[in-house]
A and B are shown apart, each in its own frame.
Chain A
Amino acid sequence: MAALASTQSRRVSAETLGIGIAIVAAYGVVPLAGSDYLLDAVLTPFLALALAAVGLNVLTGYAGQVSLGSAAFLAVGAYAAYNLHLRIPGLPLLVDLVLAGSIAAAVGIVFGLPSLRLRGFYLAVSTLAAQFFVQWALTKFGWFSNDNASGVIDAPPLSIAGVSFTNPVERYVFSLTVVVVLSLVTLRLLRSQSGRNFVAVRDHEIAAKVIGVPILRTKLLAFGISSFLIGVAGVLWAFAYLRTVEPAGFNLDRSFQILFIIIIGGLASLRGSFVGAAFIVVFPLLLSRVGAALLGSVFDSGVLEMSQRILIGVLIIAFLIAEPRGLIALWDRTWARTWAAVWPAKHPTIPT
């Protein structure tokens, strides 16, 4: 027992150490080393997408409910934050953020109701209803965009208690803080009874019901928390990254992108959400750089774009074949192997 407890505590402290190092690196090193381009075009969208992926991972990876409507909740979050800011003067940013997330959560719970009856792909397709309905409502009713003729609205500047977050470094730090806090809370939640209920429902719904897991509450909680996180991610995406709010950015492709992130990164892994998001953000940038350098003089941009789409498609398939459990499983395996090579204590050599 003692040995077991000690391994467990060592593992926990190793994890805490890992999270600590990641957070310190994210705060300390990056704002100093990063250029504005890196922060604006890579790191801030990475954070927003990673948070959205964490949200979807709670729902799909942990609770096993596939959703194809993530972008709808991003949009709900972004528009809710915009409207709250517009219509309630003097609303503090953090309250705005939480309220926007809560509105997204409420919408998520409504669209999560069918999950009580539907399974698998039937549910996945019905989440598309959220996607199309929300996008339609936001473009159709001018009230949401304050009757802006173009539908594209400028997001208000971010500021908390007189401290404003306007330049790329500040916006990055703001996003990072939100993402870190919410991810840690989510991690804690997943380790609680609710988190174990999610996994039980995912692995075998009927068995979970038999041992007394409240299915209704668990599923709706998963939808609520997931939509809350995605809603807040939507606020970050619109306010901190794009600084405009428009429905077109929250289309079906965005939903698929977030789904790609959690599949490529690793289902039921919060680290996987971050790794996947990093891959999805960095890869197209790299590809366009490399493509432009190698083929730019030969082909026009249309051909380049098509080749990129082909390559992304091929890579997704290749990843799924190589490691269906995602990049994070690949990383863990490599890490364990390297560790064993550096520190072969578990395989003592025979003394000669």
Chain B
Amino acid sequence: MVDYQFLIEVLIGGLLSGVMYSLVAIGFVLIYKTSGVLNFAQGAMLLFAALTFVSLVERGAPFAAALVATLVIMVGLGITIERTVLRPLVNQPPITLFMATLGLSYVIEAAAQLLWGTQVHGLDIGISDTPFELAGVLISRFDLFAAAVAGALVTVFALFFRYTRTGLSFRAVADDQFAALAVGLRLPRVWAAVWTVAGIVALVGGLLWGARLGVQFSLSLVVLKALPVLVLGGFDSIAGAIVGGLLIGAIEKLAEVYVGPFFGGGIEAWAAYVVALALLLIRPSGLYGQKPVERV
């Protein structure tokens, strides 16, 4: 007999941790959509943001000031990346750009640790991680908060893309770079703005993941958790990142609990990839990804 209460508890835990994956995946989608770059450095940016924030707080900066300072630094980082890495590599094939972001992730990771040290920092953002009971199911308060933040972030993005000029130009560039260029949009400026926004997403993700895991080097490895989410949802869809994150989170936890024992556990590392792969065989561009039109 299946214990439904336990099943629901695992499912909800999975969904909520999936939201955390979505937070990282959104940063990828923003950049992929507008510049066609799979930004492997997103994890490094997450680490950099969280480490900067924590170090500022530990050095006695008030919460709000540290937040603003980190935000400014992330904006600076976004603009610098556009200037030094992306602009010289315009028109190169996607694999070259991907490699460049791999190099970039080395630089950012090492720079973050060189600046702020390699020790593990605790991060307390004032949300207790005590579970509460809702209709007999235990739910983590922290997970719920993270979900709320992710929800707010997506809403803000939706409004931003829909109602601001910058958002409009993002959509135009994502739709057709050449047409956007032809109507006078400044691509470098749009890219710098996108990387800045991705930096802000990295900050939000970094704070939440940092509060969960502690701020340390392994934070940059959440990239590997976000990749199957991206594949599942489609590289160029924010909705896909959310749905993909929820699915991966739920499947991962359910698989670990119900399938894992047959394999001796530890299948979390690849279960998500296998599920994403299976889905891709049916829908090669993910759930919400744009299907490329191919001509000879």
Contacts and interface: CB of A to CB of B under 8 A. Distances in A.
Interface string B97-137: 01110111111111101100010000000000000000000
B98 A313 contact: no
Contact of A256 (B89, B102, B104): B102
B165 interface: no
A136 B276 contact: no
A118 B273 contact: no
B62 interface: no
Chain A binding surface SS class: helix
Contacts of B281: 114, 117
A316 B102 contact: yes
B270 A119 contact: no
Interface string B213-237: 0000000000010011011000100
Given A114-B281, A121-B38, A133-B270, A206 B294 contact: yes
A109 interface: no
Contact of A321 (B89, B108, B111, B277): B89
A326 to B, nearest CB: 10
Contacts of A210: 296
B99 A263 contact: yes
Contacts of A121: 38, 94, 98, 235
Contact of A316 (B103, B111, B114): B103
B114 A126 contact: no
B216 to A, nearest CB: 14
Nearest to B106: A313
B285 interface: yes
B159 interface: no
Given A117-B281, A140-B264, A206-B295, A320 B273 contact: no
Interface in A103-117: 114, 117
Interface string B240-272: 000000000000000000000001101101100
A120 interface: yes
B292 A320 contact: no
B274 interface: yes
Contacts of A122: 231, 235, 280, 284-286
Nearest to A303: B114
A66 B95 contact: yes
A205 B296 CA distance: 9
Given A125-B230, A140-B266, A114 B277 contact: yes
A140 B263 contact: yes
A307 interface: yes
Interface string A203-233: 0111100100000000000000000000000
A21 interface: no
A173 interface: no
Nearest to A310: B110
Nearest to A141: B264
B109 to A, nearest CB: 7
A91 to B, nearest CB: 30
Contacts of B231: 122, 125-126
Nearest to B87: A321
Given A121-B38, A125-B228, A140-B263, A320 B100 contact: yes
B164 interface: no
Contacts of B106: 309-310, 312-313, 316
Interface of B: 38, 84-85, 88-89, 92-96, 98-100, 102-111, 113-114, 118, 224, 227-228, 230-231, 235, 263-264, 266-267, 269-270, 273-274, 276-277, 280-281, 284-286, 292, 294-296
23 contacts: A114-B280, A118-B280, A125-B227, A125-B273, A126-B277, A128-B224, A129-B273, A129-B277, A141-B264, A204-B296, A206-B295, A207-B296, A252-B224, A263-B95, A303-B114, A309-B107, A310-B110, A312-B103, A316-B106, A317-B84, A317-B100, A321-B85, A324-B92
Which 8 pairs, one residue from A and one from B, show the smallest C-beta to C-beta distance? A313-B106, A316-B103, A313-B107, A309-B110, A129-B273, A132-B270, A306-B114, A306-B110
Interface of A: 60, 66, 114, 117-122, 124-126, 128-129, 132-133, 135-136, 140-141, 204-207, 210, 252, 256, 259-260, 263, 302-303, 306-310, 312-317, 320-321, 324
